[in-house]
Amino acid sequence: MKTTDTKGLQQILKALMDPYKQRVPDVEKITSAMVENAMIGNTDDIVNDHIAFRTLGVPHLGIASFEKIFLHYGYSKRDYYYFEGKKLNAYWYAPPSPDFPRIFISELRVDDMSEEVQGIIHKYAGNLKGDPVDQLDLDNPQEVGDFFYKPLWQLPTLPDFNALAKESEYAAWVIYNRYYLNHYTISVHDLPETYNTIEKFNTFLESIGIQLNSSGGKIKTSADGLLKQSSSIAHMIDAEFADGETSKIAGSYVEFAERLPLPGHVKQSGLVERAQRRDGFESANADKIFESTYSEQTKTLK
């Protein structure tokens, strides 16, 4: 049974955001500079456009498992996206009310990978007895919040991690980072005029030392011109592997989105509601945003 427990959903989002802020120092850096520059009074004034998760497309896991959490809390499943080169599927989910973020969930098309990579993934994530989400009491937000950090498979060895990364940096990312929040997204069009475009906000971000993902250009623009996105390069975390070896690997990142008014809704009053702006996502933008955790980008980190 679906629930309309918005307090519960709030609690789940908080359980995601708190560890995320710990893992991604850029979040605090950006939000405190936003306060200093009077863009916002405090963090609560930031509109979170969407959050994103990554999963592995194997039995009992993947989108089909993970989405149950948010469908239960009133999200509705929307468009499908296919990323041929990266071998990924994704969907986005519309929130039960506009004060909650959209959700973007992707999964690795494991069957499309080489035998070697499939072997490694199945070694870790291939022996689940059932869908772990089915074993959760979804009505209990505390239990759901803890679930994101529950190891569903063993920690990888560094050689296995590296073998995955060679063929799919996405696969390596999920094997280590699991269901940790991949990013949250600051809604730029909701900010005061001096900062309310992706161009102006990027200039601000770079002025405070945030390094932006340059794959496909720092600004990713949808074909209709109405969805503009940029993102930071993922923060490197100290990872400890199964065999005791340690290495710095990509953690999570921050995204920035500007949604322009749909034709016919160009501001009369200056105030444009969420429903009157470009909704959803854009494959070509997303394809490049995934690379915020890829070594081609992280190797440029100073």
Task: Supply the angle between the helices 158-167 and 115-125 in degrees, to the nearest 10.
Answer: 130
The H or E element that residue 103 is part of is strand 102-108
Is residue 174 part of the contact set for ligand OOG (CB under 6 A)?
no
Q: Cβ 182 to ligand OOG, closest distance in Å?
A: 5
Contact set for ligand OOG, span 262-281 (CB under 6 A) = 281
Q: Find all residues with CB under 8 Å of 231, minimum gap 6, and list them.
A: 183, 212, 213, 253, 254, 255, 256, 289, 292
Residue of closest CB approach to Ni ion: 255
Residue of closest CB approach to ligand OOG: 286
Question: Quick check: 186 and 176 in contact, CB under 8 A?
Answer: no
Question: Quick check: 289 and 219 in contact, CB under 8 A?
Answer: no
Q: Cβ 107 to ligand OOG, closest distance in Å?
A: 10
Structure letter (DSSP) for residue 290: G
Smaller CB distance to ligand OOG: residue 92 or 195? 92
Q: How far is CA 251 from CA 81, 111, 217, in A?
A: 23, 25, 22
Part in contact with ligand OOG (CB under 6 A); list of ranges 70-78, 144-152, 194-202, 283-291:
283-291
Smaller CB distance to Ni ion: residue 124 or 184? 184
Contact set for ligand OOG, span 23-52 (CB under 6 A) = 52
Per DSSP, the residues of 118-143 read HHHHHHHHS--SS-GGGGS-TT-HHH
Q: How far is CA 278 from CA 223, 267, 273, in A?
A: 12, 14, 11
Applying CB under 6 A, among 57, 117, 289, 294 the residue interacting with ligand OOG is 289
Is residue 255 part of the contact set for Ni ion (CB under 5 A)?
yes
The interface partner of residue 182, options being ligand OOG, Ni ion, none and the CB cut-off 5 to 8 Å by kind, is: ligand OOG
Contact set for Ni ion, span 20-79 (CB under 5 A) = 52
Is residue 72 part of the contact set for ligand OOG (CB under 6 A)?
no
Q: Cβ 7 to ligand OOG, closest distance in Å?
A: 27
Residues near ligand OOG (CB under 6 A):
52, 54, 104, 106, 182, 229, 255, 281, 285-286, 289-290
